[in-house]
Chain A
Amino acid sequence: MARMAGRRTLFAAPVLLVVTFGVFAVAAASPFDPVKAYAGTAGLTASQENLDQLRANLGVDQPLVERWWRWLTSAVTGDLGDSSVMRQPVTDVITERLGWSVLLAVTAFLVAILLGTSLGVLAARRPGGWLDRAVSSAAYTLEAAPAFWLGLLAMWFFALELGVLPAGGLTDTDSDVVTFGQVATHLVLPAAVLGVSQLPWFFLYVRQGVADALDEDPVRGARARGLSERTVLLGHALRSGMLPTLTLVGSRVPELITGALLVETVFSWPGIAAAAVQAATSVDFPLLAALTVLATAAVLAGNLLSDLLYGLADPRVGFDG
């Protein structure tokens, strides 16, 4: 197990290297002009001379490979450069925002996994029953519903109609202090929306897996031996039915990141996802590269995590595989 984790980590380094180069290459080939993005509306009245000077100052007139190499060499010494779109060091941008995104994503993920698994088990117990039918059709609807729309709907219902939850932000809008209680209340809606938008996949996988397992010989045997329904369901069926779901944990990470982006925008959540879009449309190389490294690392870690979990849940699966 440790060997697998170590091997994967070693493998991650070249992957990250290739990915960052890819980001620089794709960004350089994109039709967006970093100078125009930097100048914004001011660029509409700037002279060509002024824009040319900006191009030189920002260092975006240099060849792709040179730019990438310069970024890479300073990145390994811990200097991630300055973000042109945020007008501050990349490390500042990331430290200010990353934590809030992680909090949102992790909470949402737990909501999706816990809720999806429990509903899945309940539905699998009586396939075709009322609970199964209701939750399944809701899950298919949710799969198609954009997170953005869900967010607006949730805000309308809980903030406007019921008035029980805040409509956005990290803390009360007129408050300067970040307290645990405030963050917790403000986290409920965005995390629930993001979690619920991820829920269908977990629900459907668990439901299928557990239903299949209930039909398998070992489970039928357990039932025949007179073990309690609870033990059969949770001890046997869930355990083998969870296997495909564990793989899902890793593969949902990218989806979670894109979902977070929309949810962060709707709820004015001060996370990193919104910065990522700005970095991309502004061809802000240093910020874009750093964020891509982070996202890639998250995906690789997600995959590693699901493989580890898979191994733990099913002793037949080796860690070297």
Chain B
Amino acid sequence: MLSRSIRGAAAATLAGTLAITAAACSKPGESGTAHGAGDSAVVGIAYEPETLSPLLGYGKDGNSKIFDGLLTFDDDMKLRPALAAELPQVSDDGRTYTYALREGVQFSDGEPFTSKDVVFTYRTILDKKTNNASKTELDAVKDVRAEGDHKVVFTLKYPYAPFAERTVLPIAPEHVAGEQDVNSGSFTTKPVGTGPYILTGWSKGEKLSFKANPGYWGGAPKVKKFTMAVIKDDDVRATRLRTGDLDGAILPPDLANTFKDDDGRTTYAARSFDYRTVTLPTHNKVAGDTDVRRALDVAVDRRAMVDKILDGAGKPAYGPVPTDSLWFAKGTERTHDLAEAKRILDEAGWKPGADGIRVKDGVRARFPLWYLSGDKLRQDHALAYASDAKKAGIDIKTQAGTWEVIMPRMKHDAVLAGGGAPGDPDFDQYTLLQSSLAGDAFNNMAWYDNPAVDKALKKGRESGETADRRAAYDTVQRELVKNPGYTFLTHIDHLYVVDDKWSGLTTQTEPHDHGLASGPWWNVEDWTPKK
């Protein structure tokens, strides 16, 4: 009896499956066709955000599509007012920032945006109970308070010139986010903001869908529907771009190259602050030696790395500031010069041993270099660096590991690190080079300790005068030539291939982190469909 009913159930399941399969076969070719009008765009991205809540760190570098910050960056990385009506007024001592807010702005649920939301956002992020891993970036904030509905005043613990650049972080609505658990409430997946787009669906692991916000204070976007498909594998992303399923995608250089002769698509190379560097830990007998550091700095062939590893999509790096940035100290470029490297080492007493590896006072010129396992780009950089060093007589042993393995060794072992934040020169340089931050988590991984640099960094962040700041960061970069605590290798361009269906596409200078809003779609709200 029972066995019969089981067989019946099996038959029913079978019939059901056949029905599904039949339905599947009856409508092939429906998808995979090009999207008709230019008012909808689909792009492929490689990383899925864990959360869409600004309170947990989403969109902290600005440009989050669903939200707006008080300020925003334009394509030149200049600050523009967004939810603030104008750029902030800074007090003479650099400790008070006053923002007048834009009036008449509404969240996408129809509630008005006021100063209360700003205060709520910043206070929640700074709250110890909030699991926001980026709150260190707001370290300077002592207090934030509202003055009436349309004015917000920040008071800082110390004068901090780049503070305005931090206020691009998105503002969350208190009436929604304040009503729930900030770390796991529904707001983290169903956000409500004031931005140009409204999230209509987030199918985790598949895609994020947006529709244009008709009541956007900056004007309703022309691209009415915007979809970000989450595709982790590079090859799959390229294939789906080729099938017409995607209108644009981020691709590594070799795959982007395969679209070069495509008439209907354009490749955009976004400049970036994304650097790869080798830390030369001060506590290592070899890497900590200034002469070894200087020798490595000229022994390395940066141009070859750009050409071979990055397929030309990048630039040689001499410090955290890219050579085409306004903050770059001209004349600090170092050319590849193996003879010079050998001369430096010879003069310093590092004499080649029998096997070609140099020795000084019984210390062999060798140290380990770690890179993140699975990251091919870092591996390639590490191997090229070791091979260049070998030619100068320095033996670098490359090893792969996860951060858990690498981190405890960073005081003595070199690491192939990456980073880069374009907002302000302080963002990268202070945390990379300030001696008091040595060994503080991932800050100052090389335990760099140079009083002249420390002084310049402090001046750079506290001074409100651009000329003073420029002089300070020039000093830092020149000190790095005399005593390079890191060998900076390359700045990497990010490549995007996009269909030619819209006009007005540009790219913004991008950080190390591939945010959702990187790429030509950083300003999708300004695209206009081509007729």
Q: Is B476 an interface residue (CB 8 A)?
A: no
Show 9 residue pairs from A and B whose CB-CB distance is below 8 angstroms, ordered by the A residue.
A42-B60, A46-B134, A87-B189, A155-B240, A163-B32, A167-B239, A169-B229, A274-B205, A275-B205
Most buried by B among A84, A87, A155: A87
Stretch in contact with the other chain, from B261-269, B281-289, B398-406, B519-527: B398-406
| Contact present for A173 and B513 (CB under 8 Å) | no
Q: Which of A33, A165, A274 contacts B32 (CB 8 A)?
A: A165
Q: B170-200 CB contact bits vs A (8 Å, 1 = yes)?
A: 0000000000010110101100000000001
Interchain CA distance A166-B133 in the complex, whole Å: 38
| Contact present for B184 and A88 (CB under 8 Å) | yes
| Contact present for B133 and A40 (CB under 8 Å) | yes
Stretch in contact with the other chain, from A120-128, A130-138, A174-182: A174-182
**Chain B: interface residue total (CB-CB under 8 A):** 81
| Contact present for B442 and A173 (CB under 8 Å) | no
Q: Which of A1, A46, A49, A97 contacts B204 (CB 8 A)?
A: A97
Whole-angstrom distance from the CB of A107 to the nearest CB of chain B? 6
| Contact present for A31 and B240 (CB under 8 Å) | no
Known contacts A42-B57, A87-B188, A166-B31; decide if A31 and B405 are in contact (CB<8 Å).
yes
| Contact present for A168 and B236 (CB under 8 Å) | yes
Known contacts A39-B133, A268-B205; decide if A88 and B404 are in contact (CB<8 Å).
no
Stretch in contact with the other chain, from A51-59, A207-215, A296-304: A51-59
Interchain CA distance A43-B133 in the complex, whole Å: 6
Q: Is B129 an interface residue (CB 8 A)?
A: yes
Whole-angstrom distance from the CB of A41 to the nearest CB of chain B? 5
Known contacts A45-B136, A184-B23, A264-B205; decide if A87 and B51 are in contact (CB<8 Å).
yes
Q: Which of A42, A48, A114, A164 contacts B440 (CB 8 A)?
A: A48
| Contact present for A160 and B442 (CB under 8 Å) | no
Whole-angstrom distance from the CB of B176 to the nearest CB of chain A? 15
Q: Is A292 an interface residue (CB 8 A)?
A: no
| Contact present for A164 and B28 (CB under 8 Å) | yes
| Contact present for A160 and B239 (CB under 8 Å) | yes
Whole-angstrom distance from the CB of B387 to the nearest CB of chain A? 27
| Contact present for B133 and A170 (CB under 8 Å) | no
| Contact present for B229 and A173 (CB under 8 Å) | yes
Report the nearest B residue to A177, measured CB to CB: B201
Interchain CA distance A164-B26 in the complex, whole Å: 11
Whole-angstrom distance from the CB of A280 to the nearest CB of chain B? 13
| Contact present for A57 and B239 (CB under 8 Å) | no
Please give 10 more A-B residue pairs, beta carbons under 8 A apart, in addition to A97-B204, A188-B24. A44-B442, A47-B443, A49-B136, A87-B56, A114-B14, A163-B32, A167-B239, A181-B30, A269-B205, A274-B205
| Contact present for B204 and A86 (CB under 8 Å) | yes
Q: Which of B14, B245, B513 contacts A166 (CB 8 A)?
A: B245
Whole-angstrom distance from the CB of B282 to the nearest CB of chain A? 18
In B124-149, which residues have CB < 8 Å from any A CB? 128-129, 131-137, 139
